[in-house]
Homo-oligomer: A and B are copies of this chain.
Amino acid sequence: MNRFWMMAACLLILLSCQEGSGVDPLQSQVEELQNEALNSDLAWSLLHALTTEVGPRMAGTDGDRRAVEWAHSIMESLGFDKVWLEPVSFPKWRRGSESAFLVTSYRLPLAVTALGGSPGTDGVLRAEVELFDNLQELSAADPAQVQGKIAFINDRMSAGGAGRGYSEVVKGRVMGPFVAAEKGAVALVIRSVGTDNNRLAHTGSMDRPEGREAVPSAAISNPDADLLVSVIESGKSMELELQLDCGLDGAATSYNVIGEVTGSEPDAGYFAMGAHLDSWDLGTGAVDDGAGVAIVMAAATMIADQPERSRKSLRVILFANEEQGIYGGKEYARAHGHELDKHIAGAESDMGSGRVYALVATVSESARPAISELAGLLEPLGIEYDPGRKAFGGADIGQMGLLGMPLIDLRQDASLYFDIHHTANDTLDKVNKDDLNQNVAAWVTLAWFLVNSDQDFSTE
């Protein structure tokens, strides 16, 4: 009896050892990577360095040049196998001084900032204001109503699902300057495309359609837009005084900074993960897109540090000049479109440091089981698989997606993102280190899974 139980116990121990050694090695590697990511200082220290040592890095500025140098040298020091630059050219836009005043029975300075790409006002411009609820209303206006005035698009972006979201409201910023010009306005002022109530204006680019003229264009903060509306509704006489010293200023060249962690089979393809290195000039670009830069660099570094190389490669692309027209992403697609088949898949981190909550993939049907397996690995991080949606890829990586590259999104909580998006408030204090590390854990999981997978994800 005693011996029987002894043997039974031994058998049980053996069986459980057997089971232990039977754990999927990928899963245990991922657990280790996630654990390391969640407790790491790497992403935070990269972001700290980028925002403190480099600072703002608007495309074509000296800050942009220093950012490229910084990224290049940091990637080399972090153990990437190859790091290189690919040139990206674009029209350079310059921002100088800018101011706006509400002029009524008093004169009040407003929180204002020129839209990226806007021409300047050539001194001080003063005119009456004509209010429009949104771009559609301006588009439908009788030119006689707008002629010689400053058109004011008062479209409010709402947080959450109710109300008008970013993609609707941003049309006023993107196309408003051209529509206002066609209607004979002397300038355009828009309510900032943002969800906050701070006296800080949200910049952002207007479009650059061929052959269309734009008027000088700027955004004012939400509280300033509220005030304008109040004064207009009160029927008091009122003018706006606008001074924008800005404009296009020749051409500039910056660089996509690309780093590779080369796999054991260099021809087996690579997973491309991106973020954009440029930022707006008003803040230090900690959230947009310093966080993304830090997340993908930290995740790739962890993979470079693995004792053994994966079969496939990992490519980190820090895109140039996303903000003023996705120049880096478009240039990458132009230069690498013929290598589409080398790109296993692509993904981009460009929504700050909000926690990842969903996995979305645009891949072949046959790759769905593999994505489900990936979803299982992400689940412990609080991430759910959303099979019903289409991946967006991010502005830059999305350009390769348009050519057919499989896309994967790690969707982030963006509930605070549009409070500070494109404002002076985009600084390091807005980033939560734990949330940043949850992103790194998700990205290192995604990357390690893809570079070790034999699955073909391509959609065709």
Residues of A within 8 A of B (CB): 48, 51-56, 62-63, 66, 105-106, 108, 111, 197-200, 222-223, 226-227, 230-231, 234, 236, 283-284, 423-425, 427-430
Contact = CB atoms under 8 A, between A and B. Distances in A.
Contacts of A54: 106
B234 A52 contact: yes
A44 to B, nearest CB: 12
A3 B114 CA distance: 87
Most chain B beta-carbon contacts within 10 A, residue among A197, A199, A226, A424? A199
Given A54-B106, A63-B106, A197-B425, 7 more contacts: A52-B227, A108-B284, A198-B198, A199-B283, A199-B423, A223-B425, A223-B429
A178 B111 CA distance: 32
Contact of A53 (B200, B236, B283): B236
A284 B223 CA distance: 10
A199 B424 contact: yes
A111 B53 contact: no
A363 B53 CA distance: 58
Contacts of A284: 108, 227
Contacts of A424: 111, 199
Given A105-B53, A106-B55, A200-B200, A427 B227 contact: yes
Contacts of A105: 53, 66
B199 A108 contact: no
A424 B56 CA distance: 23
A197 B429 contact: yes
Nearest to A424: B199
Contact of A52 (B56, B63, B230): B230
A297 to B, nearest CB: 19
A184 to B, nearest CB: 29
A199 B62 CA distance: 23
Most chain B beta-carbon contacts within 10 A, residue among A51, A66, A200? A200
Contact of A430 (B52, B197, B283, B423): B197
B53 A223 contact: no
A255 B382 CA distance: 61
22 contacts: A48-B230, A51-B227, A52-B227, A52-B230, A53-B105, A53-B234, A53-B236, A54-B106, A55-B108, A62-B106, A66-B106, A197-B425, A197-B427, A197-B429, A199-B423, A200-B200, A222-B429, A223-B425, A226-B427, A226-B428, A227-B428, A230-B428
Contacts of A56: 106, 108
Contacts of A52: 227, 230-231, 234
A110 to B, nearest CB: 10
A100 to B, nearest CB: 13
Nearest to A425: B199
A53 B233 CA distance: 12
Nearest to A55: B106
B223 A428 contact: yes
Most chain B beta-carbon contacts within 10 A, residue among A66, A284, A427? A427
Contacts of A226: 427-429
Given A53-B236, A428-B226, A200 B197 contact: no
A418 to B, nearest CB: 15
Nearest to A54: B106
Contacts of A427: 197, 199, 223, 226-227
Contacts of A423: 199
A169 to B, nearest CB: 18
